[in-house]
Amino acid sequence: MNKPSYPHPFIAREGWPFIAGIVLVSVLITFWSVWASLPFWLLTIFVVQFFRDPARVAPDGDHNVLSPADGRIVAVEETHDPYADRRALKISVFMNVFNVHSNRAPVSGEAVDITYFPGKFVNAALDKASLENERNAMVIKTRDNQHVTAVQIAGLIAKRILCYATKGDKLFQGQRYGFIRFGSRVDVYLPLHARPRVALGDRVRATSTVLAELPPESSPVTSE
C-alpha cells in the first residue's frame, strides 16, 4: 500500500470559521442556559463531523482511477462528456451531508482545462444535476495522453464549490484539490475503454476506492 497522499489536519481548513463560530455561540448560550444550549452543541458536533478530512491510503495499481469523493454511486453509464467533447463512461458519486466532502484527484496528470458553470441547486442525486446545477469541471490529461474529467457539482443545499487547482497544474493521484460544502456530487468521465470496478448503489471512499481501471488505449479489453 502507498503512503497517505497528502499531509493535512484531520479537520478541513474550510471548516475552521464555521466550527469556531458555532462553538462560540454554544458557549455563550451555555452561560445563559445549559438546556437551551444542547441543540447548539448538537449542531457543533454535526459541523465538526461534516468538515472532517481524514488522510487516505491509495491502493496499488498503475491504471487505477480513484474515487474523488466519499458517497454512493448513482450512475455508471455511457454518455457524452460535454467538457472534453467525446463519448465517455460516466461514474457519479453522490455525497450526503454525513460524507467527507474533500475532493481528491482521480488520476495523476496535468489539468488542461478548468471551467466554472453557474447553475441551479436541485437535488444532486438526480441525473439532471450533472448539467443543470452549479458545477466546476476539470479535464486532466494523464501521462499516457488520456483524458479524465472530474466535475464538482453543487447540490440542494450546497452553495459553495471550492477548487484549488488551476489550468496547467500537475496533479498526483489522490491529491486534495477541492471541497464542496453541505451535500453534493462528483461526476467522473472516462474513455470508453475504461473498465468500471463499481456498480450502482456501491458505497465508495475518496482515494481508497478504485472506481475503474484505465489501461493505455492500445491495451486489449478483457472480459470477466
Other beta carbons less than 10 A from residue 42's beta carbon = 11
Other beta carbons less than 10 A from residue 72's beta carbon = 18
**pLDDT at residue 155, as a whole number:** 73
- Measured CA to CA, the distance from residue 160 to residue 179 in angstroms comes to 8
Q: Would you call 184 a catalytic residue per the annotation?
A: yes
Do 8 and 176 contact (CB within 8 A), yes or no?
yes
The residues, ordered by sequence, that sit 6+ positions from 131 with a Cβ below 8 Å of its Cβ are 82
- Distance, CA of 205 to chain centre: 9
Q: Evaluate if pTM is beyond 0.85.
A: no
Selected catalytic residue, list 92, 184, 218, 223: 184
Angstrom distances, CA of residue 103 to CA of 23, 66, 215, 220 = 26, 11, 23, 31
The DSSP bridge partners found for residue 161 are 180
Q: From first to last of the 224 residues of the chain, give the pLDDT tens digit.
A: 344 445 556 777 777 888 899 899 999 999 888 898 899 899 898 888 778 888 888 888 889 999 999 999 999 999 999 999 999 999 999 988 888 888 999 999 999 999 998 877 666 666 776 777 888 999 999 999 999 999 999 876 656 788 999 999 999 999 999 988 766 889 999 999 999 999 999 999 999 999 999 998 765 444 44
What does the block give as the cell for 62?
498503475
**Structural domains of the chain, with CATH:** 1-55 (no CATH), 64-213 (2.70.70.10)
**pLDDT at residue 1, as a whole number:** 37
